[in-house]
Chains A and B, each alone.
Chain A
Amino acid sequence: MNPLDPILVWWTTAKDALRVTSRVLRKRTEGATPPGLIKDAYVFFDMQEDQGLDRIDAAKRELDGLVVLALVATFERSLREHVLDTVRGRFPPGNVFLDSVRGQIENDVEFWHFSVELIEAFASVAQATRDGAKQLVKFRDWVAHARHAAAPPDPPPVSAEPQMAYRRLTQFLMEAGITNEMEPGSA
């Protein structure tokens, strides 16, 4: 199973929910929605169409950034787990010395630098694939820490589109032997 798939599912759902809401706002302007469809508890109740659509556009942009952040975070965890599983397989429990060595390695792996050490540990993965993953780590860092920190906000180091991010990271996981699946229907 590709550990990135569930993220893609919630992102697609959330994105479509925003699309549907955009359509409802437009139809309300045309008077084509039943009364009470947008209840007074909803943020859109008092909003003009333009204002509501602007808010949805802003939410979409945030969502696209957050989905890449979620993809990269899950990708990182998958790599660490894969390294840990490999180590556990090589050092089966039962020997006091080997148990101790395994414990030390397990602790160390959690502190490996994501881009410099963890990604590079997968030396069998093509360099271009590793570089692509590192670009996404930079984008993740920007989403998580930098984008609203400066005034005016810092531009991203590189632009990342969620579907392309999914593709890049899945490619890495496939080359590393962690998954052999791409979402059904993908190219």
Chain B
Amino acid sequence: MVVEISPELEKEAELADLAKKNDGVLNDEIGLTATHARWDLKRDSRNRQLLVLNLRDSLRGEAHGDFVPVELTSEPHLRARLHDLKGAMLLVSAWRGRVDQLFQEMRPWIMEAIPDAAIQDRSTLLIERASGPYEMPAMTIFTQGKAIDIEPVACWVVGADGRVDVRGPMGDDAVLLAQAEKWYWLDQHAVDRLQPLTKDLFKSVLQSLRQ
């Protein structure tokens, strides 16, 4: 794993040393999982200095954690934080894979439901407590001057392994939830009526959102 120190952090010699001293712990906890780690510096809303650890793996997983300097002086505490951060990075990687697969499956369904649709690929920024900020793919479908957005909302969701929202011009949201590697549509009119997402169901959801 490559461990980098940002130029901003290098300017703060004491803090940079603190990060460098923990190279061993970092490699021990994360070395085999992440391919790249970068220590950075930022200030919080009260102007206190924080060290930021940015982790990336080869499967597009990423996680970003803020550390108060004193956290780097306690090895057991640091190990626990790094362990959680590694878990978050792996989840983001798996979550990206699931959303990629969903979008790939959806494209032909969209064109079948709305033949004149133009699909614009874009990205959306998610900010989650466990992982920090990360970008995810999103789509906007344009049809007859109207737009339907399909956007991941969160990976850490109570009762699910991720949530994607579909918002149309009529303002009716459709919520898609991932559970056990499968996608479900959460029926807004019945409690917990999770229906497996199929082509026909998705087409009818799209129709109801655009009318």
Knowing A8-B191, A163-B191, A187-B192, the reply to whether A136 touches B158 (Cβ < 8 A) is yes
- Residue of A23, A150, A151, A161 with highest tally of chain B CB at under 10 A: A161
Give the residues in chain A near B163, CB-CB below 8 Å. Answer: 159, 161
Q: State the total of A-B contacts with C-beta under 8 angstroms.
A: 87
Give the residues in chain B near A150, CB-CB below 8 Å. Answer: 45
Nearest to A168 among chain B residues (CB) is B159
Instruction: Decide if B158 touches A155 in the complex (CB within 8 Å).
Output: no
Task: Answer yes or no: A156 CB below 8 A from chain B CBs.
Answer: yes
Knowing A53-B171, A186-B192, the reply to whether A161 touches B186 (Cβ < 8 A) is yes
Knowing A8-B191, A185-B191, A187-B193, the reply to whether A164 touches B127 (Cβ < 8 A) is no
Task: Answer yes or no: A85 CB below 8 A from chain B CBs.
Answer: no
User: How many angstroms between the C-alpha atoms of A71 and B171 in the bound complex?
Assistant: 25
Instruction: From A151, A157, A161, give the contact of B129 (CB < 8 A).
Output: A157
Instruction: Decide if B156 touches A158 in the complex (CB within 8 Å).
Output: yes
Give the residues in chain A near B175, CB-CB below 8 Å. Answer: 161
Task: Answer yes or no: B111 CB below 8 A from chain A CBs.
Answer: no
Task: Answer yes or no: A78 CB below 8 A from chain B CBs.
Answer: no
Spell out A's residues near B (CB within 8 Å). 8, 15, 19, 22-23, 26, 53, 56, 132, 135-136, 139, 150-152, 154-161, 163-168, 182-183, 185-187
Nearest to A5 among chain B residues (CB) is B191
A-B contact pairs, 8 of them (CB 8 A): A26-B170, A155-B127, A158-B129, A164-B160, A166-B192, A168-B159, A185-B193, A187-B190
Besides A19-B171, A160-B158, 9 new A-B residue pairs in contact (Cβ under 8 A), listed by A number: A150-B45, A155-B127, A159-B158, A161-B159, A161-B175, A161-B186, A164-B158, A182-B191, A187-B194
Give the residues in chain B near A168, CB-CB below 8 Å. Answer: 158-159
Spell out B's residues near A (CB within 8 Å). 45, 127-130, 153-154, 156-160, 163, 169-172, 175, 177, 186, 188, 190-194
Knowing A158-B156, A161-B157, A161-B158, the reply to whether A56 touches B192 (Cβ < 8 A) is no
Instruction: From A15, A155, A166, give the contact of B191 (CB < 8 A).
Output: A166
User: How many angstroms between the C-alpha atoms of A167 and B194 in the bound complex?
Assistant: 11
Question: Chain B's nearest CB lies how many Å from the CB of A129?
Answer: 11
Question: Chain B's nearest CB lies how many Å from the CB of A20?
Answer: 10
Instruction: Decide if A186 touches B191 in the complex (CB within 8 Å).
Output: yes
Give the residues in chain A near B159, CB-CB below 8 Å. Answer: 132, 161, 164-165, 167-168
Instruction: Decide if A167 touches B127 in the complex (CB within 8 Å).
Output: no
Question: 5 nearest interchain CB pairs?
Answer: A159-B154, A167-B192, A186-B191, A164-B159, A22-B171
User: How many angstroms between the C-alpha atoms of A136 and B156 in the bound complex?
Assistant: 12
Knowing A187-B193, A187-B194, the reply to whether A19 touches B158 (Cβ < 8 A) is no
User: How many angstroms between the C-alpha atoms of A9 and B150 in the bound complex?
Assistant: 28
Give the residues in chain B near A156, CB-CB below 8 Å. Answer: 129
Instruction: Decide if B192 touches A159 in the complex (CB within 8 Å).
Output: no
- Residue of B156, B170, B175 with highest tally of chain A CB at under 10 A: B156
User: How many angstroms between the C-alpha atoms of A152 and B194 in the bound complex?
Assistant: 34
- Residue of B127, B153, B158, B169 with highest tally of chain A CB at under 10 A: B158
Instruction: From B45, B154, B169, B171, give the contact of A151 (CB < 8 A).
Output: B45
Instruction: Decide if B190 touches A186 in the complex (CB within 8 Å).
Output: yes
Question: Chain A's nearest CB lies how many Å from the CB of B123?
Answer: 18
Nearest to A182 among chain B residues (CB) is B191
Question: Chain A's nearest CB lies how many Å from the CB of B66?
Answer: 11
User: How many angstroms between the C-alpha atoms of A156 and B153 in the bound complex?
Assistant: 12
User: How many angstroms between the C-alpha atoms of A135 and B83 in the bound complex?
Assistant: 20
Nearest to A153 among chain B residues (CB) is B127
